Each structure stands twice: as C-alpha cells, then as structure tokens.
Structure 1
Amino acid sequence: MSDLAGLTAAELAEAYARRDVSPVEATRAALDAIDERDAELNAFVLVDADAALKAAAESEARWTDGTQRGPADGVPTTVKDLERTRGWPTLRGTWLADEAGPWPEDSPSVARLREAGAVLIGKTTTPEFGWKGVTDSPRFGITRNPWDPALTPGGSSGGSSAAVAAGMGTWSVGTDGGGSVRVPASFTGTVGFKPTGDVISSYPPGSNGLLSHRGPITLSVLDAALLLDVIGRPDHRDWAALPATDRSFADGIEAGIEGLSIGYSPDLGYGANHPEVASLVAEAVGVLAGLGAHVTEIEPVFDDPVRAFQTLWCAGVARTLKPYGPDDLARVDPALLEYAERGRGVSAVTYLDAMAVCADLGLKMARFHESYDLLVTPTLPSVAFAAGRNGPTPEQSHVWASWTPYTYPFNMTRQPALSVPCGRTRSGLPVGLQLVGARHQDGLVLRAGRAYERQTGWSPVAEAAQGRALRAMRATGATGATGRGQQS
C-alpha cells in the first residue's frame, strides 16, 4: 500500500484501467500515509475518510463498468483550505472563521474535481488568509517539511505540497499570489504550476486582485497538465474566466524541446543564490541544452519590482481584514496586522502606480518572448529553512517577498510559471528550477518541464523518503555520504 502512495495520477489511471489497482486501494494508501505522517507534519486541517472511501467505491464501480470520467476519476485529492468545499468548513487558518458555517458551495476548482470523479480526502493547511511564504497559523500551528520536519515546506500552499510529497494524496489544488504554489514545490521536491491568469476560475474573488492564481501541486509535470485539464475550465461565477477549449494541456507534452530558444537568468539581475542552488540550476540548464534547446545566458530584463508588489500585497491584506473590528483583530497573527497597517496607508494613486509597474513588466516580458520561447531561473535562491520562521534570516522575515525574488514578478505579469525539482543539495534538500512562458503558452511550459522531468527521473515521494533515511544515518554517524545532486 505504501508503494501506491507514490504513484502519479497518470500511473493510477493506467493501473485502474488494467484492474491492477482500485481507487479504494489507492485511497486507503493515502489515508494510511496520513495516519503515519500527519501527526508530525501537520499538513491537514480536515480529513474525511468516510466520504473519501465512499467516493472511491463509486469510482471503482465506474472503472469496472467502463463509465469512468477520465484520468482524474478515483485519484486521491486534497484541497488547500482557502478553496470553498461544500459541506466542509473553509477556515483559512484564522480564528475569525466560524466553523459552523454554513458551507453550501464549492469553489470552481472543487466543483470541477467532483465532476471528474476525483476522490476528495480533505483540506490542507495555509497561513492565516494565505498571507505569507511559509505555512503556520494561529489556529492550526506549524506545518512541516516531509524531507525534514524541522524545516518549513514553504507556503502559502505548504500543506498541499507537504501532503503530496509525503504520499498523503496524489495531487492538490493550491493558490499562488506571489509564489505560493511554486515556493512550496521547490522546498518539497514536488511540481508546482501557476498557469496563465484566469485559466483557472476563481470564486469568491481574492483580495489581491490580479496577483491571485490557483494551480496544481503534483508528483509530475504530466500530472500537472492532467489536473489543469480538470480545473482549468470556466465557471460562470468568475466574470474574467477564459473561454473553454477542446485542447488538452497534455497535448504535445511529450514532443521535447529541440530547437526551442531559452533565456537563462541565474538571478534576474537582483537575486543572490546559495552556491549549491546556483550549481544545481546551472546543471539543469545544461540538461535542457543537451535536449536540443538553444540556451543563452541573458542580461537582466527588468529591475526588482518588489516595492510595487508589496504595495499591491499589503493593500490586499488590508482589504481582507477590513470587515473585522478590534476584538477580532486581537486574535490575528501580529505580523499579518503589520501588513494590513501598511496596506491601509496605500493611496489610490500609489496603488495605480504599482499597477503601472505590472503593465510595464508585462510589456518587457512580451518583448523578451519575441526572442525567447522560455525564461529559466531558479525557483528560489535558497533551500528550506527552519519551520516556524517567516524567512531564512531575521531581516527577511519582515518582508517575505524578499526571499522569493524569482516568483512574484510572474504573478504581476500573469504568465505561466512552473517549478520542477532539479536535484538535492549535499544536505539532502530539494532545489527547484523555474520555467516561465509567454501568456497563454501554458502547454509549451509544461512540455519543457516534462522533457526535463523525463530526462532526470525524479520521484518526489521516494526521494523524500531517501532524504529522511540519509539524515537519520547521518544523525547516528552511520554514513559519510554527501547526498545526491542532479540526476541524469
């Protein structure tokens, strides 16, 4: 059963079709993994085993009689606790949410998952209102990294990434307002994809406006495409949703990258990478070149837009907390209150100035993509740091975007951006490679990530288990191993 928890959704669908595995068995494997690991990791705010097993039995019947609804049917699935779920509370990591509800409706992503026959297991942790790049909250405490529980899985979709990396559900839906799908993917060795803005419908609309995205966190790039096929369909509640298409995001995903033009920026001109991150990402870029892509190290495309991002982000936090009075706010994360205070000081003109920075960024990246199919960067400049901290250093804890310099610009431009694992440091921690495409070139980004993935052969659940074993041996002095970097 533990082996089943490491199968991708694509592998599960093939196994279901052959009758080698049933959705009930796969769901039990995920629930067993939750029983085994979640007391330590704290990735879930809710697990509904009875509902999951009932849905799995219904899926098994469909696979048996040939009426399955596609490759998502029967896949054990989790949802970040910012997304509404009919019959389950959406508490958003805060004491300000009333668990009693009522909870009458699903968000668009959850509705599409139910229609596709996915098995919903439960809801995963988030920082309060999803406000920062790590995952801890006043209501649910600290979420930890499956590779090393002393470390953070990142955030704000840290519960989702921890669940996927630990085999506690095959894939998950996260949200990404400045890197919140890609940051935890990088820290946990999973795949995280932020598609073009409005590919995935949003309801209710987020307080952060154009920054807000949803996206898959998965065990493989192929799974990210398959999950996006399910949740990337329009919903009437989102007035800005893109129209439906008959094309699958998996179409052409195995076509390779020979002949593609890739611009490689080690630091976007303003970041500072850990030496091992820089080395592993450079090796990964070499793999892309070896697959036939034309790779060029490029000059900076834009200046660091962190001030404009912070203006938009803090204004969104202020709007989120606006309905609450002093007694309520006394129960809120103090650091979140600081962000809200900054946001309340943002004038309309300052906000529009920040929006103008987004427009300028978008134009610069559109010009960039006239010459290059893809931009490649590290996902993050560092690896996972201690759980319970807001940043790798005290200085960076005050502005979480200061340590995620390569993710938030592409929320501002609303471009598709993918994080794929590109090896482990000598201490055994995963590093992420980010691939960015022009708007609406989601399929191309996934195709490039898939080509890299197939060449390097990474299995997040197995890798995380190996990483834990390596640390245990080091702790007892049983090995002098230095860990594994890039696979090829």
Structure 2
Amino acid sequence: MSFKTFQVPLSSAPELCKLGAAELIAQFRSGALSPVEVTQSVLQHAQEVQARFNAFTLIDHQGALDLAKASEKRWGQGAPLSPIDGVPTTIKDLIWFKDRTIRYGSLTSASEPCADDAPCVRNLRANGAVFVGVTTSPEMGWKAVTDSKAFGITRNPWHPEMTAGGSSGGAAVAAATGAGVLHVGTDGGGSIRIPASFCGIVGHKPTFGVVPAYPSSAFGTVAHVGPMARKVEDVATMLSAMSGRDLRDWTQAYQTVGDFQLKDAQLAKVRIGFWSTPPGGHLDPDVSLAMNLAIDRLRSAGASIEPISLPEEDVHAVFQAHWFAGAANRLSPIASAHYSDMDEGLVHVSQSGARMSAPELVAYQVRRANFGAAMDRMLSQLDVVISPAVAVLPFQAGLEVPSGSGLERWTQWAGFSYPLNLSQQPACVIPCASKRLDSGSLLPIGLQIIGARGADAQVLSIARAIERMDLEHIFV
C-alpha cells in the first residue's frame, strides 16, 4: 500500500503547484519562493483545471494576488501570521466569502456579494490564507455527486467520464490537480469524505462544532465544515487555522480545541474496530477486496483489529428523515414556481421531507440520540474504527447513483458516511488503493478512520501513520 499511486492528476501540474503547505512555508521563510509567484502559478493552473474538469464557480485573480502581495510583505518583514500564511486556498460554493457571490450551486440564489465571511473563512483569512477561488457544489449541497443546472458537471481528474463525488466535488478536484493546497469543504452526509475517496485525496470531517458555522445549515446538526488537501499534515494544519470558538454559532460547545498537533502514532499499540458492511449491505467487491488487503497489512504492522457493526438496525431511515426534513427546510423560502429551475432530485426529497409529521421527526431525533450515545460507548473501547470510505467506485458523471445498480438515491450507496454525521464523530478519509481499469485508467479507493468525539488529533495522527506506511501498492 503506497500513496505514490495517487500522483497521476498532479503529474501535469507546474512544480510550484505540487508543493504542500509545509514545503511552501519553508520556501517562503528562506526566500526561495514568494507567495506572489506561487499564487500566479496556481491561478494559471486553475484555469486549465477548470477547462478540463469544471471545479470552480470563480477563480479570483485580483483578490488572490492582493492577498498574496500582503503575505509577501509580511514574509519580507519576518512577521508571517501563521503556518499557512501565503498558502493558496479555496472556498466551497456554500460558504460565505466576503465581497464575493456565493450561489449555492443554484439558479434561484441571490447574486449579491456576501456582506461577511463565514467563521472558517474569517479564521483562515486571519491566518494569511490566499483565497484563489470558489469551488463547485451540487445545488444546496444536497447530494453526494457534483453537478447542477447553474454550473454543470464536475468531472473526476482520474477519469473525466466519472463523477468526482460530492458535494465538495470541486474542492476535491482542485486538491487532486494542484489548483490550490488547502480547500474548505462541508459534510452533511459524506460531502467531504466521498469526493476525497473518489479523487484520491485526504478529507477530514471534524467533530461537530470544532469548526464553527454561520449561517446555520438548513440541514441542522448533521452538517460539518472541514479541511481537504493532498496530505494529512496539511489537513491538520488547516484544521488548526479554521477552527475555534465563534459566538455566531450557538451549536458549538462552549470550549473548542483549536490546535491539532500530530503525534507519532504506533500502529502496534492501536486498537482498531473494522466496520466492513454498510447499511443496506451494498458493497462493491473491488472495494471490499481493497479494504481486506489493507486490513491485512495493518495486522502485519501489529495493529489489534476486531470486527464491529453499527448499533442501529436502520440508521439509513434515521438519516434520511433528518436529511429530507432539512431539504424541506432549505426550499421552504423558495416559491414553487421556481422549482422547475432546480435539481429534480432536491425538489423530490424536499417534498418527501415536508410530508413528515412533527411526531415522526421527533421520534427519529430520539433514535439519533440513542445511536449517537451507543457510538460514543463503542468508541470509548477502541482507539479508532476503520472502514471503506465509500461502498462503490466512482461511477458515470451526471448520475446520482451507479447505472444499473437499482438504487434510487445517493444515500443508498453512502452508508459508510452519513452515520458519522448523525453521531458527530471525527472521520478522516485517506487514499489506500486503486482499481485498474482495462483502459489503463485508475480509480481511487479510500479508507476511513473514525474516532471518538473530540479525538480529531488522534484520528489524524493515526491517519498519518497509515499514510506513511512503506508497503507495496494495492491494485484491484
């Protein structure tokens, strides 16, 4: 198992676009590189990525260069703001970005610029991040693939006929291709982790509330904000920069850790639960094979691994009730006359959510609470749980479900993702294998590491230890 497998989309990028945050900071400190020249290279490359894969709704040339010049001045004075000062960063098209228009992937959204930054953007800006653009999302972030009537289809850089996943699909493509180093994603049912797996990058859904959110998500407390990048180290650095307490977010715990220092995790001492069967049981044989091979390698490294199952028989129904009710909430201010301009699937699930009675929804909320408590108890006995990131391989772009699968909604193939949105534990996806197609193309397969609430640093440290394993490539 070697993560060098996942360099194909990055191979055509300019050399400056291949550097991670720590590498850039070292170059800025020595004076070998400047934030301005790096930003110029990334902006030019982002245009090429956009033409091929449609990852952006905005490439902000002037805004990025202005921020890069300010960063260059700070570095010249020996006074950088943080370990990400001058590092190219993108924002998802669901996150407020001051003085820029955020469209939520929708033809029905307002075209006025945002009056303020969302908390995570404000925190990143205060740390000197250089915002190069806004990345694509499906309409309102409602599904786990990225296409919309407003901005079209976002394509997988490993195989452009395939989906990049979603809803943070544009961010994942930008990361995989080097069109930026740090990328803000959101995750209400897998929207960071699914595209991370499909595009062969790292994506982390933090413990709920670690990264503050404002405005509050219409989908409620299943919705998380988190970092995406090519390396675990960059994800951890970005999480430290974007997290912290923000008084606009009432759902945050009153104390929020803001430093996610990685430690050297010894896999021989790690207690791992292996979750191998998603809700509904639909699992691609190639994904299953890749995970079993990866688990064998972890056992050979000395990790203690035991099989586990979820403590809720019908977690799919519990999540679907929350998600569909959230969709109904999101569409409630929009006149039905505009529904024809919207994604038909979004309209359909919102109508399903609107038919739910208040007692039904509260009953599902109680089931969620019971599930979350049971997950807390299980993770109190383990260091982490490991699972496939996604039950299926990347499939045809423009579809919600794999062709011929008999599935109807994305939730039916995202069963390794959304339970962790209900229970709010941190979960990090890293690349672990790839499917070799007859054409010679590769499709990435991701591994998910899940920890107890608040254990983000431990999850990321173990993720980095697996990332660093000097093992042979896994191909299936």
TM-score normalised by length of structure 2: 0.93
Query: Cα deviations across residues 431-471 of structure 1 (Å, max 9, x unaligned)?
Result: 0001111111111110110101111599xxxxxxxxxxxxx
Letter in 2 for 1:46: L
Q: Which one of 284, 288, 291 corresponds to residue 294 of structure 2?
A: 284
Query: Cα deviations across residues 98-151 of structure 1 (Å, max 9, x unaligned)?
Result: 21x142101001111110000001101000000001000111111111111111
Q: Which one of 211, 215, 219 corresponds to residue 204 of structure 1?
A: 215
Report deviation, 1:353: 1.4
Equivalent-residue separation in structure 2 for 1:211 and 1:280 (angstroms) = 29
1:104 paired with 2:115, answer yes
Report deviation, 1:6: 1.5
Determine the structure 2 residue equivalent to 1:442. 456
- Superposition map of 1:273-422 within 5 A: 273-393=283-403, 398-422=408-432
SS in 1 for 2:57: strand
Equivalent-residue separation in structure 1 for 2:339 and 2:467 (angstroms) = 45
Report deviation, 1:60: 1.5
Determine the structure 2 residue equivalent to 1:464. none
How many residues matched? 460
Could you tell me which runs of 5 or more consecutive residues in structure 2 were left unpaired when the two chains were aligned.
Answer: 1-12
Determine the structure 1 residue equivalent to 2:469. 455
Determine the structure 1 residue equivalent to 2:6. none
Report deviation, 1:328: 2.0
1:267 paired with 2:277, answer yes
Q: Which one of 185, 192, 196 corresponds to residue 174 of structure 1?
A: 185
Determine the structure 2 residue equivalent to 1:39. 51
SS in 1 for 2:160: coil
Equivalent-residue separation in structure 1 for 2:367 and 2:297 (angstroms) = 34
Equivalent-residue separation in structure 1 for 2:80 and 2:363 (angstroms) = 50
Determine the structure 1 residue equivalent to 2:167. 156
Query: Cα deviations across residues 370-401 of structure 1 (Å, max 9, x unaligned)?
Result: 32111111011111101000111356653211
> Could you tell me whether the CA contact under 8 Å between 1:136 and 1:142 is conserved in 2?
yes
> Could you tell me whether the CA contact under 8 Å between 1:426 and 1:485 is conserved in 2?
no
> Aligned-residue CA RMSD in angstroms?
1.9
1:48 paired with 2:63, answer no
SS in 1 for 2:374: helix
> Could you tell me whether the CA contact under 8 Å between 1:281 and 1:378 is conserved in 2?
yes
> Could you tell me whether the CA contact under 8 Å between 2:85 and 2:129 is conserved in 1?
yes
1:431 paired with 2:445, answer yes
Determine the structure 2 residue equivalent to 1:195. 206
Determine the structure 1 residue equivalent to 2:9. none
Task: Report the identity percentage.
Answer: 38
Relative distance call for 1:309 and 1:300 in structure 2 (3 A) is closer
Equivalent-residue separation in structure 1 for 2:60 and 2:115 (angstroms) = 17
Report deviation, 1:358: 1.2
SS in 2 for 1:287: helix
Letter in 1 for 2:468: R
Report deviation, 1:21: 2.0
Determine the structure 1 residue equivalent to 2:92. 80
Letter in 2 for 1:228: L
> Could you tell me whether the CA contact under 8 Å between 1:268 and 1:377 is conserved in 2?
no
> Could you tell me whether the CA contact under 8 Å between 1:396 and 1:403 is conserved in 2?
no
Equivalent-residue separation in structure 1 for 2:380 and 2:333 (angstroms) = 45
Relative distance call for 1:156 and 1:245 in structure 2 (3 A) is closer
Identify the range of structure 1 (290-299 vs 139-148) with the bigger mean alpha-carbon deviation: 290-299
Q: Which one of 140, 147, 154 corresponds to residue 158 of structure 2?
A: 147
Report deviation, 1:78: 0.3
Identify the range of structure 1 (312-321 vs 16-25) with the bigger mean alpha-carbon deviation: 16-25
1:22 paired with 2:22, answer no
Letter in 1 for 2:474: G
Equivalent-residue separation in structure 2 for 1:11 and 1:36 (angstroms) = 23
> Could you tell me whether the CA contact under 8 Å between 1:177 and 1:411 is conserved in 2?
yes
> Could you tell me whether the CA contact under 8 Å between 1:396 and 1:402 is conserved in 2?
no
Equivalent-residue separation in structure 2 for 1:226 and 1:145 (angstroms) = 26
Query: Cα deviations across residues 228-251 of structure 1 (Å, max 9, x unaligned)?
Result: 101111111111223456762124
Relative distance call for 1:66 and 1:243 in structure 2 (3 A) is farther
SS in 2 for 1:154: coil
Equivalent-residue separation in structure 1 for 2:296 and 2:96 (angstroms) = 42
Equivalent-residue separation in structure 2 for 1:189 and 1:421 (angstroms) = 5
> Could you tell me whether the CA contact under 8 Å between 2:49 and 2:174 is conserved in 1?
no
> Could you tell me whether the CA contact under 8 Å between 1:182 and 1:194 is conserved in 2?
yes
Equivalent-residue separation in structure 2 for 1:91 and 1:237 (angstroms) = 22
TM-score normalised by length of structure 1: 0.90
Report deviation, 1:62: 1.2
1:485 paired with 2:474, answer yes
